[in-house]
Amino acid sequence: VVAPGGGTYSFKLGNNATGAQAERARYYIHVPPTANNYSFQYAYAVVFQDPGHVTAAQPRFEIKVYDSATGIENICAAQQYIASSGMPGFSLSTQGVGVWYKPWSAGTIDLSGYAGKTVIVDFATGDCSQFGHFGYGYFDLISCGSFEAAVFSCDLEGTGGVTFTAPPGFQAYNWYSSNWTQVATGQTATILAPATPTY
């Protein structure tokens, strides 16, 4: 199962077998020393059964991010889904009993401020701890790179401007000029050519 709009390959972590199994994939991201605005983009999908156990015993899916040198977790980047019925973004599957799934979704981890550091990203899945229900996920690591957009052009006049599209997965989008004047909102923004050249 490959993420739409993603790379050539995706990987599956876990399976639909039971037995209180748990799996983890770990990635190390080396942020360039001069990269003050940097991000890691990925896609993911989740499938698990909801047996109705207490929270600690339910199937789960987690993403955690750590500074490799200090072990300090980036709380803002963490995601955790614990099986339950009616969770936002999840749908009840027609395959199996009590199986819920989250279709392919985009995620971005803001690594601004980690210049010159190595960051650990853990993806983990787990079955229920009572051995009878499963949880698994799919992942596609899209890209790492600059967390900013820049256009260098000497001739935008008469072109209608330049259209920018930000990566998906954010609650809100605000676009600013180099002097921090807000120029647009939304995932896609068209920036008109200035009346006079700006730098």
Instruction: Quote the pLDDT of residue 194.
Output: 64
φ/ψ of 76, rounded to 5, equals -65, -25
Report the pLDDT value the prediction gives residue 110, as an integer from 0 to 100: 86
Exposure class string for 91-104: b at 16+ Cβ within 10 A, else e: eeeeeeeebbebeb
**pLDDT for the residue 86:** 78
pLDDT of residue 76: 86
The pTM is what?
A: 0.78
Rounded Cα–Cα distance for residues 127 and 134 (Å): 4
For the chain, 199 residues long, give each residue's pLDDT as a single digit of tens. 888 877 788 999 999 999 999 999 999 999 999 988 888 888 999 999 999 999 999 999 999 999 999 999 998 889 899 999 878 899 999 988 899 999 999 888 888 889 999 999 999 999 999 999 999 999 998 877 776 666 655 555 556 678 888 776 677 888 887 788 888 899 888 877 666 655 5
**Residue holding tokens 């009346």?**
195
Query: Which of 175, 56, 168, 66 minimizes the C-alpha distance to 111?
Result: 66
CA distances from 74 to 15, 38, 69, 109, 121 (A): 28, 14, 13, 10, 10
Contacts of 134 (CB under 8 A, 6+ apart): 14, 15, 16, 17, 18, 21, 47, 48, 49, 59, 127, 128
